[in-house]
Chains A and B, each alone.
Chain A
């Protein structure tokens, strides 16, 4: 199969879905500029022009409402936020109106607004450009939250979002944008609520969404050098969450580590731990471990930033802890953005 980079897969899915459905339009701040949101909206602009790729004023709050009103008339808006941190300005609309629309208006129809947002990491972007909002959005019934970790999933989940009937938030980690992988040529949907086994294993289960699925796989490589077999689970969407794929793995390995790009407190890692505690406690042979960002805002200075983000080594160390292994990690691996060349 041919390969594409993560951003190219998003670009391709957007164009294919827009070809199939004339009601889809792309909108957001700067979606039609020369950078094209890291290339992801460039194809749509070239193919369909500004009739269907709309630059907008700075109005995250109103614009989320605008897209809801357009969706109520049968349009299928695809909104793009270059920084997901700005979505806090849109939360009233997404939580109070989009998420509740179908239910509180009597189940007559939904407003399937699709919102793509990019999560920053590294390069000193600091407190307001380096956080992931996935758990916040996943708290609210009525929304779907997808966290694609591979080029194929970036395409397939976007296709599902643009052909479904539910408002969807898709969070894309910037560190994954240059990742290359096999991607089907056709616009094949990947269903929400269906996780994937990134790597099969028998000793310990590592659950990680988005970038952490990738980093967990690299942690598994490190562990394999020490003869430890880790199974890596990528939920692909965190709402709905594929509980069964996680439970089945934990029943097999008896050990669970959850890695996350956000805080532990009330977060995705807490949710996974709670699901396992409720439904597979008897299978656990050791307490669950969470590997997350520490309980402070993201710093800027390089040494602080390096210590802030979970790494393959920190995930591997957590696995050794739950396995009560005194094996030392054999090697460190390069930071996922080591090759990144600024400016961001």
Chain B
């Protein structure tokens, strides 16, 4: 393979796609933001008894990547999986019911927040063990290569996975077998509460180190949904053409605490000034401003969507709360 065919440089701000596509991305990001903020508020009621890693602040990655995917493509994620699930088309009611531990949940109340799945729309699995699903995504991609199918597999993971052995095993395997695997590293600078600079070699970047495996690797502003979309479209096309895996590092930031609904300015591992600097780069507001400035829609459209989305999440919560818990007689069901 010839990696020189692709630019190994940062991709600049994404050009705005046509109106209908751009508006769809903005609404999809607003939907995830609305869902997550609503659930974070409700989480304090202690009825969602499942460790929950909110995606607030990182919406542009999931939405931009999903914009480049086909319904037949598959995606895998890790513990912070809500945005990836929703962006791929996972049922909102199934997700909320899962958080509430109900039989109507997407994992029938057996999986919880970190094991969302919706195989009917290609969101195959999420798992809390770092890097696990990266290898599984490579396996799905390998099966597509065996079948000479144009489908591709996406693996979402954080910067913490880069330190795991499986990251390197999977990259090596994916390149050697030339599987159609789109690797999306969401670099939010922290693994739980530990900053990147004490975990990985200083003076290097993830995307540049990955290039030594001889696959195209780029970095994008992960808070610019249009830039993420542009990179993901290039990567998806590369994979679909049978050229092997493609790596995109997305720079982004988690607003809330690692796990749970709260702000953690005062916890000591990061400053309020740092968090505020990333909130100023809010991916949702930024995309909204871009489409309004382009004349794709007016502010009233944003307000209308906001009201619609509030209504949708309220209905999903009501559905979840009204759903039955699994019956204890079914405790063992599904083991085999």
Contact = CB atoms under 8 A, between A and B. Distances in A.
B335 A65 contact: no
Instruction: Classify the secondary structure of B's interface with A.
Output: helix
Contacts of B127: 96-97
A271 to B, nearest CB: 18
Contacts of B169: 57, 59, 61-63
A63 B146 contact: no
Given A62-B169, A104-B111, A97 B105 contact: no
Interface stretch (B77-85, B134-142, B194-202, B253-261): B134-142
A104 B173 contact: no
Interface string B109-129: 011000101010000110101
B38 interface: no
B18 interface: no
A142 B335 contact: yes
Contact of B173 (A66, A68, A96, A109): A66
A57 B136 contact: no
Contact of A104 (B110, B166, B170): B110
Contact of A70 (B76, B105, B133, B142): B142
A142 B334 CA distance: 9
Contacts of B146: 25, 51, 75
Contact of B107 (A71, A97, A104): A104
Nearest to B125: A105
Most buried by A among B108, B135, B333: B135
Contacts of B117: 105-106, 108
A251 interface: no
A67 interface: yes
A13 interface: no
A113 B110 CA distance: 22
Q: How large is the interface on A (under 10, 10 to 19, 20 to 34, 35 or more residues)?
A: 35 or more
Most buried by B among A65, A68, A75, A93: A65
B136 A69 contact: yes
A75 B142 CA distance: 10
B132 interface: yes
Interface in A315-330: none
Nearest to B98: A106
Nearest to A72: B124
B334 A63 contact: no
Contact of B140 (A57, A62, A73): A73
Q: How large is the interface on B (under 10, 10 to 19, 20 to 34, 35 or more residues)?
A: 35 or more
Contacts of A57: 169, 172-173, 176
B190 interface: no
Given A59-B169, A105-B107, A69 B336 contact: no
B157 interface: no
Given A62-B166, A102-B334, A107 B143 contact: no
A334 interface: no
A62 B181 CA distance: 14
Interface string B163-178: 0011001101100100
A69 B173 contact: no
Contacts of A59: 169-170, 172-173
Contacts of A56: 173
Nearest to B179: A66
Contacts of A103: 110, 334-335
Nearest to A97: B132
A243 interface: no
B79 to A, nearest CB: 13
A62 B175 CA distance: 13
Nearest to A61: B166
Contacts of B106: 106
B139 A65 contact: yes
B144 A73 contact: yes
B139 A69 contact: yes
Nearest to A141: B335
B173 A108 contact: no
A101 interface: yes
Contacts of B335: 102-103, 141-142
B39 interface: no
Nearest to B165: A61
Nearest to A165: B336
Nearest to A166: B336
Contacts of A67: 139
A305 interface: no
Interface in B285-336: 333-336
Interface of B: 74, 76, 105-108, 110-111, 115, 117, 119, 124-125, 127, 129, 132-144, 146, 153, 165-166, 169-170, 172-173, 176, 333-336
9 contacts: A25-B146, A51-B146, A69-B137, A70-B143, A73-B140, A74-B143, A104-B115, A105-B125, A141-B335
Q: 10 closest A-B pairs (Cβ-Cβ)?
A: A69-B139, A65-B135, A107-B334, A69-B136, A62-B169, A66-B139, A59-B169, A106-B107, A106-B108, A70-B139
Given A69-B137, A70-B143, 4 more contacts: A62-B138, A68-B136, A69-B124, A104-B115
